[in-house]
Amino acid sequence: MTLPTRTLGPFTVSAIGLGCMNLSHAYGVPPDEAEAGKLLNRALDLGVTLLDTAALYGGGGNERLLAQAVMHRRTEFTLASKCVLDLHDGQRGLDGSPAAIARTLEGSLVRLGVDHIDLYYLHRLDRRVPIEDSVGALARAVEAGKIGAIGLSEMSAATIARAQAVHPIAAVQSEYSPVVRNPEVAVLDTCRRLGIGFVAFSPVARGLLAGAVRSEDYAPGDIRLMMPRFREPQLTHNLRAVATFEALAAALGHTPAQLALAWVLARGDDVVPIPGTTSIAHLEEDVAAAAIRLDAETLTAMDRIFAPGAIRGPRYAAAMQAQIDTELLPDEELA
């Protein structure tokens, strides 16, 4: 199958990509490798041509999963991975030094079983290291043929501009959905001014807009346990807006996840959402959203549903927020 395409730097990718994180960790018990492999191959069969992983995911296990499951189809997709946010000496943390970036990259190449990664992101900003130094390390990796292009994740407009001055940036990745609008403060405008593509992760708001959250009864290890807006008393308030959103989706004949993805796609032809899932049925549902076109009335209705105050609670707990460089919204709550 083929899907509509969009451009990220030198790459032409499907309008909807696949975030691979939750095939290895983050939202409860991940599927076994056989089932995860089936999902990855089904994504390629459906025309998905952007697979997004990271050194951090599953402690490197997600990269190994891709190597085992889909590298025999390497020519069919753009491969993206990430560095800086990783396990350093066995502990999760940031290290944006050139030496650490080089180590992580070499590890990713080994785990993925490749000698070249198409799009390689700085996963987070390490404020102890000038962004120029971190980007410079990736520029040298481009020159060495180990990566094709450079990306940034969860970084501010000012940081993006500094990075672009060192080396062209192909893509910026941040959380973006009808619920999370931080990129609209400055990042989207900066990307457009500089000709940088935008990748939207968590476009269905970590399951909140996909019918996956009804209470805070999460599985042990689920990262939403550490996210205040997914915990009580904020969650009950937030689910009221979600119920209105779900009613709108039903009236339009779409699933909530499809409506959320269609909204993200409507933000511009330079925006590529990368939903993640452990279910092939949900994957097929997500990909079908590429064919949905929303009218102005629907977009306005969604803005009303998720007007300021509709969603309460910080996006991240304090320790996680400290690793985020993206601008805050006016009056955004912080833990």
Model pLDDT for residues 111-140, shown as the tens digit of each residue: 999 999 999 999 999 999 999 999 999 999
The average pLDDT across 216-239 equals: 96
**Residues that are catalytic:** 57
Q: Can you give the pLDDT at residue 95?
A: 97
Mean residue pLDDT across the chain: 97
Q: Is the pLDDT of residue 28 over 90?
A: no
Residue whose token pair is 């296990």: 61
**What is the distance, to the nearest Å, from the Cα of residue 227 to the centroid of all Cα atoms in its chain?**
16
Which domains can be identified in the chain, with CATH numbers?
5-211+257-294 (3.20.20.100)
Q: Can you give the pLDDT at residue 118?
A: 99
The residues near 62 (Cβ < 8 Å, ≥ 6 apart) are: 20, 21, 23, 24, 25, 53, 54
Q: What angle do CA 79, 55, 10 make, to 5 degrees?
A: 25
Q: Can you give the pLDDT at residue 238?
A: 98
Q: CA 98 to CA 129: how far, in whole Å?
A: 9
Whether the ω angle into residue 233 lies within 30 degrees of 0, i.e. cis, is yes
The average pLDDT across 34-50 equals: 98
Q: CA 80 to CA 87: how far, in whole Å?
A: 18
Beta pairing class for 197-201 and 5-8: unpaired
- Residue 59 in contact with residue 15, Cβ under 8 Å? no
Q: Is the pLDDT of residue 335 over 80?
A: no
Q: What angle do CA 101, 26, 94 make, to 5 degrees?
A: 25
Residue whose token pair is 């992101």: 121
- In this prediction, residue 256 has a pLDDT band, given cuts at 50, 70 and 90, of very high
The average pLDDT across 258-266 equals: 98
CA dihedral 82, 327, 139, 132 (to 10 degrees): -130
Q: Is the pLDDT of residue 278 over 90?
A: yes
Helix ranges (H only) for the chain are 33-45, 61-70, 98-112, 131-143, 157-166, 187-194, 234-252, 256-265, 280-288, 296-305, 318-321
The average pLDDT across 242-261 equals: 98
